[in-house]
């Protein structure tokens, strides 16, 4: 089971959110631990990008096979099918599932190398991931989320350094690639992306695509009861009806 994302991010008192300058984005890579992790609001931003022609790719580090009330060998393929359906809703064509073990994802060189490989392969302008924090608004974050966030943050740097994982260039013909923006979600935000009513609807539909997964969580509210309110709460400090917020780090000009 993965934790849902908060409806409101903690801000520094007096801080003013800035609009995200995403006009130059042509490719965005979203890195998460599990199927459905993107669908708790972040997919609204994905929808905004794809609707204007940005190519968005998803990199899932696990298949989410430990997150359902059924055997992992059945859950993994099922969750992959549901994630592909969710991708179709928001216009994502490139979906990569690495298959690291769900529930026991470990920060380490193998994970960093795998993420750096995808960054060098896809060559995105921006990478979106979690912040790797222990404490988040809804409590203690999932261990897989923490490992995924920290490994991705470091892999962004690794992908731009030819002397880290040199085999990627020498043996796999993947030269270094420098990402321009690192966007961290579910953490104290600095920037916001306003999302349209259509994007809100698509975010609801993308979470709804995980029907079998949600059916195994009888306590889980309907997507339409979760997503619009979460996006409205993120839009409130920005002064817009709905938004997705990020801690945005510009890594190069």
Average pLDDT, rounded, for the chain: 93
- State the pTM of this model: 0.94
| Mean pLDDT value across residues 216-233 | 96
pLDDT tops 50 at residue 5: no
- Which domains does the chain possess? 21-250 (3.40.50.10320)
What's residue 13's pLDDT? 44
pLDDT tens string 54-77: 999 999 999 999 999 899 999 999
DSSP of the chain: --PPPPSS----TT--PEEP--TT-SEEEEEESSTTGGGTTHHHHHHHHHHTT-EEEEEEEE--TTSSSS-HHHHHHHHHHHHHHHHHHHT--EEEEEEEPTT----SHHHHHHHHHHHHHH--SEEEEE---SEETTEEPPHHHHHHHHHHHHHHHHHT-TTSSTHHHHTT-------SEEEEESSS-SEEEE--HHHHHHHHHHHHT-HHHHHT-TTPPPHHHHHHHHHHHHHGGGTSSSEEEEEEEE---
pLDDT tens string 144-165: 999 999 999 999 999 999 999 9
């Amino acid at each position: 089971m993965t934790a849902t994302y908060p409806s409101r991010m903690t801000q520094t008192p007096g801080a003013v959110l800035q609009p995200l300058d995403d006009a130059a984005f042509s490719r965005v890579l979203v890195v998460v631990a599990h199927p459905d992790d993107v669908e708790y609001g972040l997919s609204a931003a994905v929808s905004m990008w794809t609707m204007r022609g940005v190519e968005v790719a998803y990199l899932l580090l696990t298949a989410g096979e430990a997150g359902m009330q059924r055997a992992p060998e059945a859950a993994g393929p099922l969750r992959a099918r549901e994630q592909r359906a969710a991708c179709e809703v928001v216009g994502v064509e490139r979906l990569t599932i690495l298959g690291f073990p769900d529930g026991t994802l470990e920060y380490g060189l193998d994970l960093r190398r795998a993420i750096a490989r995808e960054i060098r392969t896809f060559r995105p302008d921006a990478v979106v991931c979690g912040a790797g924090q222990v404490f988040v608004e809804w409590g203690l974050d999932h261990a897989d989320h923490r490992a995924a966030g920290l490994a991705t943050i470091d892999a962004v740097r690794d992908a731009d350094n030819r002397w880290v994982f040199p085999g990627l260039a020498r043996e796999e013909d993947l030269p270094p690639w420098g990402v321009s923006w690192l966007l961290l979600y579910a953490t104290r935000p600095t920037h916001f992306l306003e999302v349209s009513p259509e994007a809100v609807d698509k975010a609801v539909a993308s979470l709804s695509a995980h029907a079998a997964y949600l059916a195994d969580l009888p306590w889980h509210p309907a997507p339409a009861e979760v997503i619009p309110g979460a996006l409205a709460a993120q839009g409130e400090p920005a002064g817009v009806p709905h938004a997705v917020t990020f801690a945005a780090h510009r890594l190069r000009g």
